[in-house]
Amino acid sequence: MSEELPIIGKDPLGRIIRDWSVKPWWGIDRKKIEWYPKVNYDKCIGCGVCYITCANRVVFDWDKEKKKPVVARPYNCVVACTTCKMLCPVDALEFPDKEYMEKIIKEHKILVKAKEILKKHDLI
Ligand code: SF4
Ligand code: SF4
């Protein structure tokens, strides 16, 4: 599936960078969903855990001069993922709050869509 996505390049760790932003989420244009991390540089200690952990979507680049991560490909971020935030030792990554996602779920009738999929596959 990811093989079909456009390749943007490779990063210094040798990871292939794909453009995940072209892949809709629940039928919604990914670029219309403001879900991605923001680095609080007042807190960030440059440990590199977020940069290294986000290995498939490669959301972060690494600023060699500042020795800090940069959110280079925000729309590559998996909607509702918070892995990097969970692993950050100093809580330096910020995401939209739960209410933001609840609004999207409601507006785009995602619960109805989920039910339809389960029904289609004879799971309910
Ligand atoms: S939330 Fe997940 S996909 Fe998004 S940047 Fe963090 S680890 Fe990567
Ligand atoms: S995990 Fe947190 S402290 Fe470490 S580089 Fe990322 S934002 Fe900075």
Q: Is residue 55 part of a domain?
A: yes
Q: Is residue 86 part of a domain?
A: yes
- Rounded Cα distance, 95 and 110, in Å: 21
If pLDDT is split at 50, 70 and 90, which confidence band does 2 have? confident
Q: How close is the Cα of 114 to the center of ligand 1, in Å?
A: 23
- pLDDT (average), residues 99-108: 97
Q: Is residue 107 part of a domain?
A: no
CATH of the domain at 6: 3.30.70.20
Ligand nearest to the CA of 47: 2
Q: Is residue 60 part of a domain?
A: yes
- pLDDT (average), residues 96-102: 96
Q: How close is the Cα of 111 to the center of ligand 1, in Å?
A: 23
Q: Is residue 17 part of a domain?
A: yes
Residues facing 61 on adjacent strands: 70
The two tokens of residue 77 are 């971020």
Above 70 in pLDDT, residue 77?
yes
Q: Is residue 8 part of a domain?
A: yes
Q: Is residue 35 part of a domain?
A: yes
**Residue whose CA is at the smallest distance from ligand 1 atom 6:** 84
Q: Report the chain's mean pLDDT, rounded to a whole number.
A: 97
- Rounded Cα distance, 118 and 19, in Å: 29
**Residue 12: is it exposed, middle or buried by C-beta count within 10 angstroms (0-12/13-18/19+)?**
exposed
If pLDDT is split at 50, 70 and 90, which confidence band does 3 have? confident
The ligand 2 atom at the shortest distance from the C-alpha of residue 39 is 7
Please state the pTM of the whole predicted model: 0.95
**Residue whose CA is at the smallest distance from ligand 1 atom 4:** 77
* 8 A C-beta contact, residue 10 and residue 50: no
Q: Is residue 117 part of a domain?
A: no
Sign of CA dihedral 82, 88, 90, 92: negative
HSE-CB for 19 with a 13 A CA cutoff: 6
Count of structural domains within the chain? 1
- Give the structural domain span for 58: 2-96
User: What is the pLDDT, as a whole number, of residue 75?
Assistant: 98
The ligand 1 atom at the shortest distance from the C-alpha of residue 53 is 7
Q: 69: closest CA among 16, 23, 13, 25?
A: 13
Q: How close is the Cα of 65 to the center of ligand 2, in Å?
A: 15
Q: What is the pLDDT of residues 8-25, one digit of tens each?
A: 999 999 999 999 999 999
Q: What is the pLDDT of residues 24-70, one digit of tens each?
A: 999 999 999 999 999 999 999 999 999 999 999 999 999 999 999 99
Strands (E) in 1-124, as ranges, are: 7-10, 16-18, 38-39, 60-63, 68-71, 93-94
User: What is the pLDDT, as a whole number, of residue 1?
Assistant: 67
User: What is the pLDDT, as a whole number, of residue 107?
Assistant: 96
The ligand 1 atom at the shortest distance from the C-alpha of residue 78 is 3
